[in-house]
Amino acid sequence: MTKTSKPAQNSKFSKGQLITWHERYADGIAIKNVGVGVIIDIKEYSYNSPDGSVFEYTNFEVYRNEFNDIITLSEYDIQSLQEK
């Protein structure tokens, strides 16, 4: 697995962007918490599977105002509050 810390080229999100976040339970379906936060870092990953397939995904480090902490979320768990 390789990791880069450059901004995502095709992402609709950017550092400093105000977003709503959704924290899910382990089942990945039910939502545990929801709140407002700010994206503080964007990390792109690439996974090479044994069959030669390459999977790319992006994680976002989000500062959560309500909890005063930082969590890592996928693009599926954040939503923009600002229109570009």
Q: Is residue 50 part of a domain?
A: yes
Question: Whole-angstrom Cα distance, residue 36 to residue 9?
Answer: 24
- From the CB of residue 27, how many other CB atoms can be counted at a distance below 10 Å? 6
CATH of the domain at 11: 2.30.30
Domain region containing 36: 2-79
pTM above 0.85?
no
Q: How many domains does the chain have?
A: 1
- Residue 83's pLDDT is 63
List the structure tokens of 28. Answer: 């990945």
Question: Whole-angstrom Cα distance, residue 34 to residue 55?
Answer: 28
- From the CB of residue 80, how many other CB atoms can be counted at a distance below 10 Å? 14
For the stretch 45-57, pLDDT in tens is 999 999 999 999 9
